[in-house]
Structure 1
Amino acid sequence: MYLEKFELPGKTAIVTGAGQGIGLACAEALGEAGARVIVADRDVALAKSATAQLTGKGFQAETAEMDVTDSRRVSELADDLVARHGRVDILVNNAGIARSETPAETVTDEHWLNVLDVNLNGTFWCCRAFGKHMLAAKGGTIVNVGSMSGFIVNKPQEQCYYNASKAAVHHLTKSLAAEWGARGVRVNAVAPTYIETPLNAFVKSNPKMWDAWIGGTPMGRLGQVEEIASVVLFLASDAASLMTGSIVLVDGGYTCW
């Protein structure tokens, strides 16, 4: 009765920024649960490599080239996938950028707009395009990847633009959940801590930052991509059928202090 709620046979899911890192782990989790997974990324080579890894494990997967900041392409892909597969049941908005360590007073317009364009606009374009089809089908679930940075101000790195973008993603999640809840579409978000990925590998050679990151985490370690993907799978599945508008912190306790 309970384990079957995590299973996704016959479901179609799309994960943005799925070429590597958290996105690839999310795609793998959904594929392992039985979903057909669309591996979407602006870097088509990464997307194809990730798709090959998934199909090599026996999962159903296909590649889609998509830049989330291109609203026209997002809408075209949503329409195409629904035309070919009948519906898209799950959307995981994982694509995002940080560009950290820039003090607020020196942030350029380009820098600010770029981060907001990917993290916030891109998330909304995808929610709007795929959400329309989910509403028409009277069912679907969206999981946005926010951040603990939407709750706290990170240190020692300056990144007001990133923090603001993720706080906005959290409130967008709640707003869409309120609008669409009675129409069969659930919208939740996961808010990760620092995750051990190639992009964060530099921190181990930066004692000041390592001490701030790990010293500020009660569990005393970086998170792993599969620990985020597991929560995404839960939120995407019927195991979370009464949850919408939730922002689930997966932060090793970082926000406790």
Structure 2
Amino acid sequence: MSASAAKPTQAPQFDVSGRVAIVTGASSGLGRQFARVLHAAGARVIAVARREDRLAELAAECPGVVPHVLDVTDEDGCKSLTDRVVADHGSIDVLVNNAGLGSNDTALDEDLDNFRYVLEVNLVSVYNLARLAARPMVEAGRGSIINTASIFGLRSSYPLPNANYAASKAGVVNLTRDLAGQWGRHGVRVNAIAPGYFSSEMADPLFADERGLQRVLRGTPMRRIGEEHELDGALVFLASDASSFVTGHTLVVDGGWSTH
């Protein structure tokens, strides 16, 4: 092949080779895919989740991925995680705050402790880990924090009863904006991805019900749910220098669901 015919396999601004990335909620679903994608793109990935067996499977599939068992609501454990990553790898270049949960209790039936716990996982832990990762990023003068929000952080979850999840993800959207404002002058970018309907442990029961699936499809202009790989580009874009002047933004990937 001549030099003129040769094409680069990847635009250099999307390169994340050698960057140190922490991914939470990495034992399944979107988090597992995020860890795989960053690993395939050349990043040194620390995969964080509670389920040790799932992390071991991921590490076996992606040699070089470092598994780290942690409940993100453990404040001391989160501090130990970021300290260890800096000690072992010298930096934290990318943080993907992906761990999350929700439940479909109605507001009249939900136990208040459950509501608090969902916010603790989905919002408070995002704030805590972002603060912890931002310290070495500020010192280095660069870094990218990517929070997993949701279309339910931008719209009501109606007709699904999901107040805990919707409230927490709306908090993630505005937390992303505020932290971006605080840390932008230090070269630390904070953005979010708001997925629409994708297959996951949380969403699959809805898709298993034909009426629920049809309701999702009718509300999505592209008339399908998202495929696992369709968040890869958004992730690499926000993790890399391709988004070097993007901060405080929530990137919606939903097949058009939020257009109405």
TM-score under structure 1 length normalisation: 0.94
Task: Give the aligned partner of residue 46 of structure 2.
Answer: 38
Task: Give the aligned partner of residue 20 of structure 2.
Answer: 12
Question: Which structure dedicates a bigger proportion of its chain to helix?
Answer: 1
Deviation at 1:198, TM superposition (A): 4.1
Task: Give the aligned partner of residue 188 of structure 2.
Answer: 185
Deviation at 1:204, TM superposition (A): 3.4
Deviation at 1:201, TM superposition (A): 2.7
What 5-or-longer segments of structure 1 have no aligned partner?
none
Matches within 5 A, 1:1-257: 3-55=11-63, 60-100=64-104, 102-257=105-260
Deviation at 1:225, TM superposition (A): 2.1
Deviation at 1:51, TM superposition (A): 1.5
Q: Equivalents in 1 of 2:172, 2:32: separation in Å?
A: 21
Q: Equivalents in 2 of 1:136, 1:246: separation in Å?
A: 23
Q: Equivalents in 2 of 1:148, 1:201: separation in Å?
A: 16
Deviation at 1:222, TM superposition (A): 0.8
Asked if the contact 1:93–1:145 (Cα under 8 Å) also holds between the matched residues in 2, the reply is yes
Amino acid at match of 2:210: P
Asked if the contact 1:147–1:166 (Cα under 8 Å) also holds between the matched residues in 2, the reply is yes
Give the match's secondary structure for 2:229: helix
Give the match's secondary structure for 1:248: strand
Deviation at 1:226, TM superposition (A): 1.6
Cα deviation, 1:5-36, whole Å, max 9, x if unaligned, reads 11111211010011111011111111111111
Identity of aligned residues (%): 37
Q: Equivalents in 2 of 1:172, 1:186: separation in Å?
A: 13
Q: Equivalents in 1 of 2:214, 2:19: separation in Å?
A: 43
CA RMSD of aligned residues (A): 1.4
Q: Equivalents in 2 of 1:174, 1:198: separation in Å?
A: 28
Asked if the contact 1:68–1:95 (Cα under 8 Å) also holds between the matched residues in 2, the reply is yes
Structure 1 residues 198 and 106: CA distance shift in structure 2, 3 A: closer
Aligned length in residues? 252
Asked if the contact 1:26–1:233 (Cα under 8 Å) also holds between the matched residues in 2, the reply is no
Asked if the contact 2:25–2:100 (Cα under 8 Å) also holds between the matched residues in 1, the reply is yes
Q: Equivalents in 1 of 2:31, 2:100: separation in Å?
A: 10
Q: Equivalents in 2 of 1:84, 1:204: separation in Å?
A: 42
Q: Equivalents in 2 of 1:253, 1:210: separation in Å?
A: 16
What 5-or-longer segments of structure 2 have no aligned partner?
1-7
Asked if the contact 1:191–1:247 (Cα under 8 Å) also holds between the matched residues in 2, the reply is yes
Q: Equivalents in 1 of 2:93, 2:53: separation in Å?
A: 25
Give the greater-gyration-radius structure (CA).
2
Asked if the contact 1:15–1:23 (Cα under 8 Å) also holds between the matched residues in 2, the reply is yes
Cα deviation, 1:121-146, whole Å, max 9, x if unaligned, reads 11111101111111122111100000
Asked if the contact 2:195–2:252 (Cα under 8 Å) also holds between the matched residues in 1, the reply is yes
